[in-house]
Structure 1
Amino acid sequence: MNSLTSYPEPSEPSAAAGDDLVSPSQAALPSDLTAIHHQLLTLLRAPGQEGAWVSLIDGVGRRIRALVERDADMALYLQVQSAQRVQDHYSSQHALFCAVVVDLCLHHLNVGDAERQSAALATLTMNLSMMELQNELIHRERTPTLDQRRVIDGHAQAGAQLLRQVGVQDPVWLEIVELHHTDPPPETGFAALSPTQRLASVVRRVDVFTAKMSSRRFRAGMPATLAARAACLGPDGRPDVVGSAVIKSLGMYPPGSYVKLASGEVAVVTRRGVKANEPVVASLVGRDGRPLAAATPRDTADRSHAVAGIVRPAEVRGPVPPVRVGVSDRL
């Protein structure tokens, strides 16, 4: 395994994209992520109740980053597909989704391994003090009560204090949690921020971006392109440093999202492409609106199969198991 600081960038797909056999290590990734989420959920529900809680959550962060290193596209595919469904354990699933994206963004920004680990741990625990409330709110249509709003507004500081109480001593981890909902002054550019403020800025932006992509009981999640427009673009319609890192790390159409092709077919994105607007896809629905007998790889660099638009997840009967589209050979 390569160093955690050297993720492979998206590569040019082969002529037989989607037909190659997937290695056992890739095939195991979905079940690995499920096991990681189960451990994360257990730890977040009972902070500090195990003597080695800090060490255990540190291990979860390292396992997530190792899986992203192994196959970032598969990790993204699974998290994007999961976010498109209303989840019983939204808070922990959201933390896991954020941790995957944060680490990819920090790799793009050339952040060192130690800082990336601290950022991963902060991302996993940023909503520790309001986990149950967060899970409750995604199933409710009405706005939070005054008391709930107080909890939401104070959860960053409360979370950092709770982490201190259970033995966290990493100052970068703690400061990111404290700052992850604090916007720096508008006139302060990214380069002028302290190193920890930069990390918090990435976590904050990814938090917003992934939340907009995630479905609630009374609100469908946004397609990635619309979420990016809302979370990553400035008033001038251009992404800033952090917004650009998010878009370049995930592509315009992240794995797991759905697109309409110039041919009229509907496809699911399976991997990022060399160009942000040319992802690797597999068509699911033909131009006549009927499901294809089998998912069919398409080359979006070919004008006849170029991405022509986005498709909202609610318009596709999903989720689409990775085995069906050649992302993995088994669940």
Structure 2
Amino acid sequence: MKYVPIPIAMLPVGKPLPVNVWNPDGLLLLRKGQPIVSEQHRDKLYAHNASTTEAEAQAWQRSYERMVHTMLMEGVEVEQIARLPMPSAIRERDYMVGEQLNGGWMDLQEVLRGILYQGGLALNPLPRLAALENKARALLQADADDSLFCLFQALADSSLGYCATHALLCACVCELAAQKLGLNPQQRQSLMSAALTMNIGMAREQDVLARQNEAPTPEQRQLIQDHPQLSLKILVWLGIEDVEELDLVRWHHQPDSAEGLPHNLQARRLLSMTDVFVAKMAARRTREALSPLESAKSIYLQTEKEVTASVGGALTAAVGFYPPGTYVRLVSGETAVAVQRGLRANTPWVIVIVDKNGMPAFNYHCLDTADPAYAIASPMLFRSGKVAINVERVRRAREKIRR
């Protein structure tokens, strides 16, 4: 039987454990329902490499992810969630194999957030990350525009947490841009894996920073600076052996470093640029979000043109200046949401959501902004364009132009 190490540091003293605890050789250390009675007892379990079965580890992890998701939906501050121990109970449905990967992007977001929050203490992380990546790639291949729409919309919703949405969106953008650059399948796999995990060293703090009213403290700035190396250490500890993925994570803030793998340079630049591109589009309480167009421009201004030309061109070609899920104002004065990339980067298909009189629009029809009558006048910020959008109606409207 396969045993998985349990996160001893996240187990509360005095509360019953919802799993049997074994050593790696199959010797029972603690029965389900029994508590850790003291710190010394905890230390003893740690010394014996306390583990549980793979099935119970996966169910326990799902229970943790559900707990975190529920508390985020209830508005609990991330700092409080970050201090939570592992739950003391597991629901029966948490034992359903693969349940968390049968849904869409928000299901993946919930799973990934749990792994990123736990970092080096994550239960059975490698098979779960692999399954998550496979599902993400399948969703992206099935409908890239719908994938971008869901994730750019989620980026504007702070109640969902930021770290996992950022990671998934970076992974999708990197995969689409890497195809434009002609990177081979192995390079693209390493790149997507790195995008999902590059910020594991500061995942909880990412969500704290997204919600706090003050500028980053000196300690937070130091963590931002140090987190690539910390993420690298965590991934090595978890058992990641892909040297290209580890290289990408280590240098995603310094993509042109002379150290590391020279053949990975283009992928490094893409990951770094995508990381910044997505981050600039996420609002903070201390600053406004940038539109995708403004974010792309700011990256070009801060980096030498010859360095970014091919990578920036691929990124722009992959998602456009107005990616699905982002907002625009039309020359007619109407507010619309982009729902599908167009033939050119600046001509997406859109759906009007607010008419020129400021009233919500309820008839969803896809409009081609390549038509001068529906041309884009300017991008809009998430908050200024945010209205309730029915995703299923968006999908039905898109089906009419895809036939």
Shared fold per TM-score greater than 0.5: yes
- 1:232 deviation in Å? 3.9
Q: CA deviation at 1:198?
A: 1.6
Q: Is 1:73–2:145 an aligned residue pair?
A: yes
Partner of 2:281: 213
Structure 1 residue 147: deviation in Å? 2.3
Corresponding residue of 2:200: 128
Task: Provide the C-alpha distance between the structure 2 equivalents of 1:121 and 1:254, rounded to a whole number of angstroms.
Answer: 22
What is the match of residue 224 of structure 1?
292
Residue 278, structure 1, aligned to residue 347, structure 2: yes
Q: Secondary structure at the match of 1:46?
A: helix
Cα 1:202/1:74, change in 2 over 3 Å: same
Structure 1 residues without counterparts, runs of 5 or longer = 1-28
What are the equivalent positions in structure 2 for 1:117-266 lying under 5 Å apart?
A: 117-184=189-256, 194-233=262-301, 240-266=309-335
Alignment of 1:38-49 (within 5 A): 38-47=110-119, 49=121
Tell me the percent identity.
31
Change in CA separation of 1:310 and 1:219 when aligned onto 2, cut-off 3 Å? same
Structure 1 300/128 Cα, relative in aligned 2: closer, same or farther at 3 Å?
Answer: same
Q: TM-score, normalised by structure 2?
A: 0.68
Q: Compare the two structures and name the one with the higher helix fraction.
A: 2
Which residue number corresponds to residue 185 of structure 2? 113
For the structure 1 residues 260 and 34, does the alpha-carbon distance in structure 2 shift closer, same or farther, using more than 3 Å as the test?
Answer: same
For 1:56-95, what aligned pairs fall within 5 Å after superposition? Answer: 56-95=128-167
Structure 1, residues 149-196: CA drift from partner, whole Å, max 9, x if none?
A: 2222111111111111111111011110100000427xx9xxxx8221
Q: How far does the alpha carbon of each residue in 1:40-96 deviate from its partner, in whole angstroms, 9 at most, with x for none? A: 122223345466422221221222112111100001011111112324421111111
SS of match in other structure, 1:59: helix
| Partners of 2:255 and 2:265 within 8 A in 1 | no
Q: Secondary structure at the match of 2:254?
A: coil
Partners of 2:273 and 2:213 in 1: CA distance = 24
What is the distance in 2 between the residues matched to 1:244 and 1:34? 29
Give the Å deviation of 1:276: 1.5
Q: Relative contact order (C-alpha < 8 Å, sep 6+): which is higher?
A: 1
Change (3 A) 1:233 1:327: farther
The question of whether the paired residues in 1 share the 8 Å contact of 2:364 and 2:397 is answered with no
- Structure 2, gaps ≥5 residues long: 1-100, 399-403
TM-score by length of 1: 0.82
Q: Give the count of matched residue pairs.
A: 295
Deviation at 1:120, TM superposition (A): 0.9
CA contact (8 A) 2:334 2:352 kept: yes
Deviations along 1:259-301, one digit per CA (max 9) or x if unpaired, are: 1222222211110011112111111222233222322322322
Shift of 1:33: 1.1
Q: Would the aligned equivalents of 1:74 and 1:327 in 2 still touch at CA under 8 Å?
A: no
Residues 263-272 or 232-241, more deviating: 232-241
Change (3 A) 1:290 1:127: same
Name the CA shift for 1:216/1:305 in 2 (closer, same or farther; >3 Å): same
Partner Cα separation in structure 1 for residue 394 and residue 239 of structure 2: 44
Residue 3 of structure 1 is matched in structure 2 by: none
| CA 198–233 in structure 1, closer or farther in 2 if over 3 Å, else same | same
RMSD value, Cα? 2.5
Larger Rg: 2
Say whether the 8 Å CA contact 2:174–2:192 is kept in structure 1.
Answer: yes
Candidates 384, 399, 403, aligned match of 1:315: 384
Q: CA–CA distance in 2 between the matches of 1:157 and 1:317?
A: 37
Change (3 A) 1:242 1:327: farther
**CA contact 1:81–1:319 (8 Å) conserved in 2:** no
For the 8 Å contact 1:253–1:269, the answer to whether it is kept is: yes
Distance 1:247 1:66 in 2: 22
Which 10-residue stretch deviates more, 221-230 or 169-178? Answer: 221-230
